[in-house]
Amino acid sequence: MHEFLTAGIIGISLGAQYALLALGFTLIFGILGVINFAHGGFYALGGYVAYAAVSQAGLPFPLAVLVAVVATAALGALYERFLIERLVDDHLATMMLTLGLYLVISTSLLAVFGPQSPEFSFPVKGTLRAGTLYLPLENLVVLAVCAAAIGGLWLLIYRTDFGRALRALADDRRVAMTQGMRPGLLFPLAFGLATGLAGLTGALVTPILALSPSAGDPVLVTSFLTVILGGLGSIAGAVVAALIVGFVEAYASVYLGGSTGALILFVTVLVILLARPTGLFGREIRGA
């Protein structure tokens, strides 16, 4: 029973992080139809920017997180505006552009910061305990920020003109453009919003876990799994799927062990992808 509850708490913590990552990933796909291979790169970059802001510039941690968000969002928006934008309708080209960017980002981080994990720790320490159950405070902070970010994003997409414009572009670009939506402005903003979310996750989570130039590799895989499960392009699906992935990972690892847990997750996703390519909750947003 104790393990069961502990695994549940871990599952929620994992799910919240995955949701933040998957939201950005699914947003880019839903609106631009682009698979962002560089998503993990922005996560790692967010972590390193925050680290540099704390250790080099001496900024307080919350401000460092903000710097990381702005930096990753700006890089994402610029990359979209000047490179991806030109080929946005060619899915192969955009995959190559983002894959190339990922390789460049991780190599640059390696060149600048070296291969070893730097000392970068979360400023909030301590652990809440109730009997044998425990919840590290740092996880609680991350959970709160994730919830706030998800809520904010939801408001942005469903309650603002900006969000309506984005959704219109995602539904049918041609119709949206005849109604005066400007992809030239909205696409970079959407891309920047998504990469900023990845940067935020990186800045928040890497001090709890570990920061290394290749920290983005597993992030990409998890984002893939989550959005396949939730349906590519579906925002609600991404959140629910992220929680499912978090719980499956936690329970499978606790009860079945590392490799088996991972294998179950991959096979589940494979089956869903084959049986229901639109995901558990997805609607066919794009013809891909």
Site for another protein in 267-286 (CB under 8 A): 267, 269-270, 273-274, 277
- Answer yes or no: are the C-beta atoms of 221 and 21 closer than 8 Å: no
Segment 152-159 long-range contacts (CB within 8 Å, at least 24 positions apart): 153/23, 153/27, 153/193, 153/197, 153/235, 154/235, 156/193, 157/235
- Cα 154 from Cα 148, distance rounded (Å): 10
Q: Using the rule CB under 8 A, is 106 a contact of another protein?
A: yes
Query: Binding to another protein (CB under 8 A): which residues in 123-162?
Result: 125, 127, 129, 132, 134, 136
Q: Using the rule CB under 8 A, is 110 a contact of another protein?
A: yes
Return the structure tokens found at 131. 């009997």
Return the structure tokens found at 134. 């425990």
Q: Site for another protein (CB under 8 A): how many residues? A: 79
Task: Give the three-state DSSP class for 5.
Answer: helix
CA angle (83, 85, 86) in 5-degree steps:
75
Min CB(41)–another protein separation in Å: 10
Q: Using the rule CB under 8 A, is 107 a contact of another protein?
A: yes
Which of the ranges 52-60, 64-72, 169-177, 255-263 carries the binding residues for another protein, by CB under 8 A? 255-263
Query: Binding to another protein (CB under 8 A): which residues in 31-90?
Result: 33, 35, 83, 86-87, 89-90
Q: Using the rule CB under 8 A, is 6 a contact of another protein?
A: yes
Q: Is 33 left (phi over 0), alpha (psi -120 to 50) or beta?
A: left
Kindly tell me which residue out of 54, 73, 240, 249 binds another protein, with binding defined by CB under 8 A: 249
Min CB(59)–another protein separation in Å: 20
